[in-house]
Structure 1
Amino acid sequence: MNTSHHPTMWIKGQKSASLSGKTIVLAVTGSIGAVRVIELARELIRNGADVYGVMSEAAQHIIHKDALHYATGHEVITDLAGEVEHVKFCGAEGCADLLLIAPATANTIGKMAVGVDDTPVTTFATTAIGSGIPVIIVPAMHNSMYEHPAVMENIDKLKGWDISFVGPHLSEGIAKIASNEQIVLAVERVLGSSVLFGKKVLITSGATAESIDPIRIITNRSSGTTGREIALEFYRRGADVTVVHKGKLDLDGIREILVESAGQMVDATLKELEHDYDMLISAAAISDYTIDAMDDKIKSGGDISLKFRSTRKLIREVRDAYPYISLIGFKAEAYISEDELIARAKDSMKDADLDMVVANEVGTSGMGTIDNDVYIIPAENGEITHVSGNKRLIAEALADNIEDMLTKRELNVN
């Protein structure tokens, strides 16, 4: 059967093209976490990958090989035959870009650590490691097994061979398989290639909140979706990412600093930038005004008056303290024309000495929504990029523009 006509191919690349052109071998072992790999395979395909399944005999007691065939659109390898499949995919000149072992049992991890290859999965692993093909392992087992000293030693040994691990998620006495989002993100990072690799990037995200009393706050409609998508995209491209925000990402690999008020965000950002960052992307909707909060709850009933005062301006303080850091700002306006929006954004960029600004008109959409319509404006006489659509696309376009900026600077230096 021509796999290009398999119904699974209809979803290929529908979410993104981040894994377009990549061939991933998804190796499944005999953990109950194997029930999750059907949707995992589909998520990889939705991001553009070609996925081929390999199963151990134990894995086939958990899910049927036909399910993985359906999920990937390709026949599943359960025995090694005349095609020498492990070499065809994971040999030195094999067609696979990555071996993803998900889930991986303690048994399989132990075999990999000592070079035993007595199942199709472990034979693929031995071949991939010997060929230098990237390998990602996603452990899943009972917690008592995971915490066995030998298992810990085996994991450390494999990490020493530059093999990546994702998870596990420890809960209910079980070292559970990581979420599909976390696994796909790790795959994107391992297979990505970008001038952002190794760059230290600090991102402010979402709304801040100013206390009125111990219960009440004043905030804004920002959901933090844009900042989240930027953090994910820069992580995919190999950057070392830290996010300062009021929300919670809870994703391995992305460091978070939790704050609430505008003042806390400014203080936390300035302190964090002491650690040699390459770039700050100020995507947060920071409160412009604050008040002196009451110590006790204001009694209900009757009118009250609140006296506001201006908050500190993060961008200005950062530029004063770190004159050479790459600084990306956001400019939000409401109910103005495109020309006026761009003009105001350029004025803000000049006043704050920004390297780039992202401008959006939020009167009708953008703040608190899934989609947005933005203009990415570079300071160095580049073309304005207009992006309309979901915020992942906007994050990708911003990363592309920043890559271009960094590449031009490298060329000028050399």
Structure 2
Amino acid sequence: MSDAVTIEVGLGARAYQIRIGKGLVAKAGSEIAALKPGARTAIVTDENVASRHLETLTQGLAEASIAATPIILPAGEKTKSYAMLERVVEGLIAAKLERNDLVIAFGGGVIGDLAGFAAGIARRGMPFVQMPTSLLAQVDSSVGGKTGINSPQGKNLVGLFNQPKLVLADTDVLDTLSLREFRAGYAEVAKYGLIDRPDFFTWLEKNWREVFAGGAARTEAIAQSCRAKADVVARDEFETGDRALLNLGHTFGHALEAATAYDSSRLVHGEGVAIGMALAHRFSSRLNLASPDDAARVEAHLQAVGLPYRISDIPGSLPPAEKLFEYITQDKKVTRGALTFILTRGIGQSFIAKDVPQSEVLAFLKDNLAE
């Protein structure tokens, strides 16, 4: 374990560690045995991850004498549903896991969100470990305790804050991701630079090819992202203040995901975030908050790595601007009807903008849909 990078999420009695390194799936048994001696586990995962990595995990757990019950779900965003939540909770109860046993969320962001939510409500709360298998989950959704499912009315509208006991991010498993999935996760990496780390964004502009290729640059990018998120979560665990900055690009992005009915063949979460970040910078320029050069720089980087950055990059037809606007008003970042956006004054200068005029947003959406 000495070659793993360890980052502390400082939350007092609920503090936990993020470990980033190679081979952590196979070594998970010793980690979990130390964390919860004598605990039995349920592994919540999806069909894709199970076919590639479940045997390695269960073997590692068995070597540490840890019993494991797999709960294997369909892959994809549509799994973040009431029906699948019920399936996981009932699976935990059927396995006769007790309140102090352990749930392992072994997958991407969908599985992490769903399993963390199920752990938070089964038997009035069970501890869980995040083992993220996608880049997006390793740098974002596995850290910070946000868990939940989607409602037909919008993304992530049902859930709770539930911090994991440990995050194990095995960089080896990223080699099995498709290029599209890796790119989608990279959008969240770039986000940290655009929020408040302009030097990191500049580093990514120079080193993104090495991040994609793997090795030291990839580990560095993941570690920097996790440090950035851990810092924000430690300051504002329940998103009452500047944790909202982590939603850069998400208000637009979530609306676009809802508009495509969470059809991953058309748009996955990270792609929605990429378009959303470009829109946030473009909207900031339109409001004379930032230079159009900054928006152009963001778009150029997203385009260079192969990410979509315009609404028109989404295949298929989309609803009119009024419907997209309706999805935005359903977003969790609306307070008493007032729209809150994460906007920017430049690269790495994001801020929380409250009371954004609804007429400006609607006009902006109409213009961008017409591109």
TM over 0.5: no
Which has the bigger relative contact order, CA under 8 A and spacing at least 6? 2
Q: Give TM-score scaled by structure 1 length.
A: 0.24
Bigger Rg, structure 1 or 2: 1
Q: Give TM-score scaled by structure 2 length.
A: 0.26
